[in-house]
């Protein structure tokens, strides 16, 4: 069923596995009580959120065929970012921040925008070039 929604990529299972592992890493990094420290400058964590969710959407945007599927993925990733922020606040160790949820949503939007035309066919193009003798 989901194959009709995905691009005809040779290694689609691998790509879905990588994407699933990436989502798992984002969930863990969001909910762990002691995440690894990234760069230290003002608002660095907002840039990390934007980059993490932008890459997530861009990755899955490479796999989706239809614009509607990509839009549904974008909505799902924005909901995931908001839900994880809520859960983070309920954990009692870290704080929920609306600015983080906004950075997540902005990253999803940017990833969606990057994959709307030719940018959404990078994996397909790469596979075609690697297939040639």
- pLDDT tens-digit series, residues 31-89: 988 877 877 888 878 899 999 999 999 999 999 878 888 999 999 999 999 999 999 98
Q: How far apart are the first and last CA of the chain?
A: 32
pTM above 0.85, yes or no: yes
Tell me what pLDDT residue 133 has.
65
Tell me what pLDDT residue 26 has.
96
| For range 102-124, the mean pLDDT | 91
């Amino acid at each position: 069923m989901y194959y009709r929604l995905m691009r005809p990529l040779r290694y689609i299972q691998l790509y879905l596995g990588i994407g699933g592992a990436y989502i798992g890493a984002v969930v863990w990094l969001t909910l762990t009580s002691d995440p690894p420290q990234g760069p230290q400058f003002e608002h660095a964590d907002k840039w990390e959120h934007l980059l993490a969710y932008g890459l997530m959407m861009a990755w899955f945007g490479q796999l989706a065929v239809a614009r509607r599927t990509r839009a549904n993925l974008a909505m799902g990733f924005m909901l995931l970012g908001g839900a994880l922020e809520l859960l983070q606040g309920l954990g009692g160790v870290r704080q929920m921040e609306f600015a983080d949820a906004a950075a997540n949503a902005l990253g999803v939007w940017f990833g969606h925008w990057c994959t709307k035309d030719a940018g959404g066919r990078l994996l397909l193009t790469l596979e075609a070039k690697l297939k040639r003798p």
